[in-house]
Structures are given as structure tokens and as C-alpha cells.
Amino acid sequence: MRISEKFVHLNTEHVGFSLEFSPAKTTQGMQNLYDRIERMAAYGPAFIDITWGAGGSHSNLTTEMVATAQADFGLDTMMHLICTGMEQGKFEAALQESYNAGCQNILALRGDPPRDKEKWEATDGGFKYAVDLVRYIRKKYGDYFDICVAGYPEGHPECSTASESIQHLKDKVDAGANFIITQMFYDVDNYIDWVQKCRAAGISCPIIPGIMPIQSWDAFLRRAKWMNATIPKHFLDELEPVKDDDAQVRERGTKLMVQMCQRLIETGTVHLHFYTMNLEKATKMILEGLGLLQQGDTCTNKPPLPWQRSLTLKRSKEDVRPIFWKNRQKSYIARTQEWDEFPNGRWGDSKSPAFGDHHGYGLGLRVKHEQVYELWGHPSSYTDVSNIFVKYLKGELQCLPWSETPMSSEGGYIRDQLIRVNEMGYLTINSQPAVASVKSSHPDFGWGPPNGYVYQKAYLEMFVHPDLLDSLLSNAERDPLVGYYAVGKSGELRTNMPKEGATAVTWGVFPCREIVQPTIVEANSFLAWRDEAYQLGNDWSKSYRSTSASRKLLDELVKSWVLCVIVHNDYHDKDAIFRIFDGLKAVSDLRQQASDH
């Protein structure tokens, strides 16, 4: 989405913000950064932006990060593009990748001179000024991209006068830029004055102040100097006395930045841009201080779908997913990334597109061996395993091999029943409660546009001991409103569902729209997920030494237990799905039985 469309919904009562990140230098650094971006995405930024790899050496990481943010995190993203060291063909390639990622926002910069050169020079066949880049993008892509340009409230170092600098800015806007983000500054009075001059000069597009959080004394001074930012006296008065205590600097710095942002908002600012420097804490503290942290993206009340939408071009029409990757969305995106066309609501009926192989990056268990022991210990009995699942349900564990994220808030509605089922030894790895007609604004179940109603059929996905399977399925078959799929690591699918088609388990009814049915249960995807589900169990098992009791136990589980998904079709009866377990044996009863003989 073009960012300018978001600005129109903002006002000083509903202030938006954005977060800037830069490619990290190592693979591990990139992984940590992705985790951080995902966490910070929950703060609710209107968009994030990714700087262009300095000197071009990390530029492929920039386009990768843009694509990941759009696809995996569903974040509207702006890609930086600089003139430094770029031949013309490179602009075209970068813009095309941005286009394919569904990214519609470019920050067009001249860029700093390369580290080995004092003075900026255009690359042969490249552009000399940001304004040339703006013109190039407009000419090649029409209005497809929003173009942002940089503003310099304290003047550009290479411009002799403030008015010359403003004239250059106006040239960029006239060439087609949609909005302006400023360089960092601490002098608010000067900024307000500069904005007025810009307006007087005929610049009417949105101007977004760039905010640099204060992380430490040294960094504060260094960055201000590098960016030629004047430091007001009261900043120094506050910070210098505690300059050797980073925590104190950050705390006092936060107060200063919150005051500064409040002043900006009072004088009409509706959006703040944060230079995070890839750090989390200082930005979070300012957002908290401003009361923006919980508020989230002020442009939308609820996400458009109950899962995180991908924003890449190819996936723009995607409006349905099978339930099985609910707790492993990245894996789903990776496995379906080669799909040319998303089935767009008719998933079940369409030619079933193959699910990609599951041996890709990040598709196996991503937890390291030491973490495995710390998280899940060394189970030596099925009761131990049950207890791990119960601890997860109680919120005492943050993840399971099959769930990368903690228990969801909607899970709370059926926590007690899930605990009972897991204590019996039916190991649930995915579930949702039945919901009959709640408003689309509901805090836990809501999604989609306002004034709608959303619904869910209850489902449970679980591993079942092979000796318990027949009674479970015969209980399920006794209720004409229950559908199930069951399959072992290898072997045939058992089901009472229709061979073709899908069961919608989440749907929404909204004003002036067709019915939206974004999650389904369906056989082809279940069989594709089956392989991944058993692989994850296998990965867990392999974390233990080959002679250990845990390894033996988990290998047995993977080998013989059966993966089942059960849907209850009467969404008006919230407890119905759990009544299937009434009168069933527990795994501990089997052991008892065995030892009785």
C-alpha cells in the first residue's frame, strides 16, 4: 500500500509512527534483526523502512528485508534507494524487486559518499542528485510508487544557505515526491520555523520529523555531530551529569524525546519517524511515553484477515489459508512461495497447487539443543510429555515444537478444556474455540472491516496414541456434526469428510461485501502438513542423545502416534467438541491396563 494513503487518516489525536531498520552484517545478526522487527511490528507502526546497504555491498539484503517484511510480517515497507555507487541498471533491478514484493514506497536519497572518498561523485551512468532519481522513478513507474525525499531542517552541509536547501527540497517535490522525512534533529524551534519556510516556499506535501532516540552519551554526541544537528542546552544539562550511566542517559533521554515529540504533535505533527538504529528499547520507551505503543496502527482498527496478510504482489489476492500452519506462518509462506496464483476463496475446489518441500530455511525446529533442554526438559514418559503441553497451555512455556508463539488470547477461552484433554494424553498442537456471531471489533476474535460479524467453528488438532484412536473416532462419528481427518506418519488418511472440497472454519460477514472465509480445513493441505508435523517431532527427538530415554520416547511417539484434526460444525455449541472426549480412556489408563496384565 502507498503510505500517503495512511497519512490522510491521521490527526493530532491519532498520531502514526514508523520505524527505520538497516541490514545487519552477519547471518546471525540478520536472524536477530528479523525477530526484533517481528516483535516491534506488534507496536503497530504505520510502516517500516529499510536503508540501502551502504555502498551497495549489502543492497541485496535490503531487497530481501523488504520482501520479508511485506510477505512474512505483512508490514507496509518503504525501500531506501541511493545514488551512491549505483549504475542505472541497478536502480531498475532494485525497483523491480520492490515492485514484486508489493512494496509501493521508495525513499529516494543521494546517499553519503563511500567511506574511501571525502566528496560525493556520481557513478558513471548513475544519477548525481536525488531529484534525478525521483524523476526516473516517476517516468518509469508513473504513480505506482509513493516517493519520499529527505528534508534538512538544519540545512544541507553542501548548501550555503537555508533557502538554497529549501529550494532543492522543493525541486524534489516538484519532480514527483509525495512526502518528506527529515534528518534527525533536537532543536524543535528551528524545525517549526523550517517547516513554515517550506510551506512559504510552496511545499505542501506531508513533512514527517525524523526522531533519533538517545541510546547512550557517546552515540548521542557522535550522531548529532555527524548529522550537523544542533543540541539545545537543556539536553546537555540533563544528560551530561549522568553521561557514564547508559541506563540513566536512556531514561533521561527518553523524557527529553517524549517532551520534544509532544511539542511536535501540539504544533500539528501527525506522524513520527524513528531512527531505531536496529535497537528496540529506546524507541519503545518513547512510544510508551507518548501513549502510542498500545494504540497500534491507527489506520486500521483490526487486521483485514485473522492471519497476518502478506503484502507481496503475488499474494495480494490471497484470502484463504488452511489452518495447519496457524502457528508456523513463515513456513506456510515459504512452502507456497512458488504458487503463481492464490486460490482466492475457492481453495478447496481449485486445482490443488503443490506445497513446496519442507526442507527449506527455517522450516524445521529452530530451537537449539540447549534451549530444548531448558524449555522442555528430558521427558521420559508420556505423562512428562503431557505435562509439557499443559505447561504451555498454562502460559508457563512460551513455545512448543509445533507452536512458535505463546498461547493466543483466544486460546484462553478454552484453556481449561484443552488442559483436560492434554492431561488425558491427547496432545493438542492447534485449536480454536467456536464463535457464533461476535462483532468484528471483538478484542480476541475480531478481524476485518468494522460493523461486521465473525464466526468460527471449533477445531482441535492433536497427536493421538494409536490405542486410543478407534474410540476417539467412533465417538466423533456418533455426532453427525463432527468431521475429522486422521493419518499416521505414513499410511492412509481416515476421514468422514467429503473427498472433495473444504470446510470453512473462520468466516466473516461485513457490510456491502461477499462473505469472507479466510481459514479452511481440507485434505490436501492436511497431508502436506502431516510431513512437517512429524518432522518437527523428529527434530525434537534428535535433540537428545541417541541412547537417552527422551529420544526413545519421542521416536516412539513420532513412529506410532496419529495426527488428527477434528472440526465441530455446530458453532453455536461451544462445548460440543470437548464432549467427544467424554468417556474416553486416557493414555495413563492404557499403561495401567498393560501393567494389570
Rule CB under 8 A: is residue 53 a binding residue for a copy of itself? no
Rule CB under 8 A: is residue 498 a binding residue for a copy of itself? yes
CA distance 179 to 105: 11
Q: Which of 13, 20, 461, 514 is catalytic?
A: 20
CA distance 316 to 339: 12
Rule CB under 8 A: is residue 444 a binding residue for a copy of itself? no
CB of 332 to a copy of itself, least distance (A): 19
Q: Is 92 within 8 Å of 63 (Cβ atoms)?
A: no
Contact pick of 509, 549, 576, 590 for a copy of itself (by CB under 8 A): 509
Amino acid sitting at position 289: G
The phi and psi torsions of 396 (rounded to 5 degrees) equal -85, -10
Rule CB under 8 A: is residue 377 a binding residue for a copy of itself? no
Closest by Cα among 300, 333, 318 to 517: 318
Site size for a copy of itself, by CB under 8 A?
A: 34
CA distance 426 to 587: 8
Closest by Cα among 20, 7, 13 to 265: 13
Q: Per DSSP, what are the bridge partners of residue 456?
A: 435, 506
CA distance 241 to 237: 7
CB of 209 to a copy of itself, least distance (A): 35
Amino acid sitting at position 116: D
Rule CB under 8 A: is residue 517 a binding residue for a copy of itself? yes
CB of 508 to a copy of itself, least distance (A): 10
Sites for a copy of itself among residues 556-595 (CB under 8 A): 567, 569-572
Q: Per DSSP, what are the bridge partners of residue 463?
A: 427, 563
Q: Which residue is listed with cell 492433536? A: 462
CB of 497 to a copy of itself, least distance (A): 5
* Beta carbon nearer to a copy of itself, 128 or 513: 513
* Beta carbon nearer to a copy of itself, 32 or 350: 350
* Beta carbon nearer to a copy of itself, 242 or 436: 436
**CA distances, 350 to each of 234, 500, 524 (Å):** 65, 10, 11
CB of 515 to a copy of itself, least distance (A): 5
* Beta carbon nearer to a copy of itself, 115 or 478: 478
CA distance 333 to 388: 28
* Beta carbon nearer to a copy of itself, 512 or 594: 512
* Beta carbon nearer to a copy of itself, 417 or 440: 440
Rule CB under 8 A: is residue 513 a binding residue for a copy of itself? yes
CB of 152 to a copy of itself, least distance (A): 41
CA distance 90 to 104: 18
Rule CB under 8 A: is residue 536 a binding residue for a copy of itself? no
CB of 350 to a copy of itself, least distance (A): 10
Rule CB under 8 A: is residue 368 a binding residue for a copy of itself? no
CB of 514 to a copy of itself, least distance (A): 5
Rule CB under 8 A: is residue 458 a binding residue for a copy of itself? no
* Sign of the CA dihedral with 557 first, then 563, 568, and 574 last: positive
| Grid cell digits, residue 444 | 480476541
Rule CB under 8 A: is residue 198 a binding residue for a copy of itself? no
Count of CB atoms within 10 A of residue 577's CB?
A: 29
Site string for a copy of itself, 77-106 (x = CB under 8 A): ------------------------------
Distance from CA of residue 176 to its chain's centroid? 31
Q: Which residues of 163-194 are buried (b: 16+ CB within 10 A; e: fewer)?
A: eebbebbbbbbebbbbbbbbbbbbbbebbbeb
CA distance 183 to 223: 11
Rule CB under 8 A: is residue 504 a binding residue for a copy of itself? yes
Rule CB under 8 A: is residue 459 a binding residue for a copy of itself? no
Closest by Cα among 96, 112, 109 to 144: 96
* Beta carbon nearer to a copy of itself, 436 or 590: 436
* Beta carbon nearer to a copy of itself, 270 or 566: 566
Q: Is 33 within 8 Å of 27 (Cβ atoms)?
A: no
- Piece of the chain touching a copy of itself by CB under 8 A; list 138-146, 270-278, 394-402, 502-510: 502-510
CB of 427 to a copy of itself, least distance (A): 24
Sites for a copy of itself among residues 401-440 (CB under 8 A): 436-437
Rule CB under 8 A: is residue 483 a binding residue for a copy of itself? yes
Site string for a copy of itself, 283-312 (x = CB under 8 A): ------------------------------
* Beta carbon nearer to a copy of itself, 247 or 515: 515
Q: Is 203 within 8 Å of 152 (Cβ atoms)?
A: no
Q: Is 474 within 8 Å of 576 (Cβ atoms)?
A: no
CA distance 426 to 480: 22
Contact pick of 507, 526, 529, 544 for a copy of itself (by CB under 8 A): 507
Does 5 participate in catalysis according to the annotation? no
Count of CB atoms within 10 A of residue 583's CB?
A: 8
Positions in the binding site for a copy of itself (CB under 8 A): 344-346, 348-349, 436-437, 451, 453, 455, 480-481, 483, 497-498, 501-504, 507, 509-515, 517, 520, 567, 569-572
Residues with a catalytic annotation lie at 20
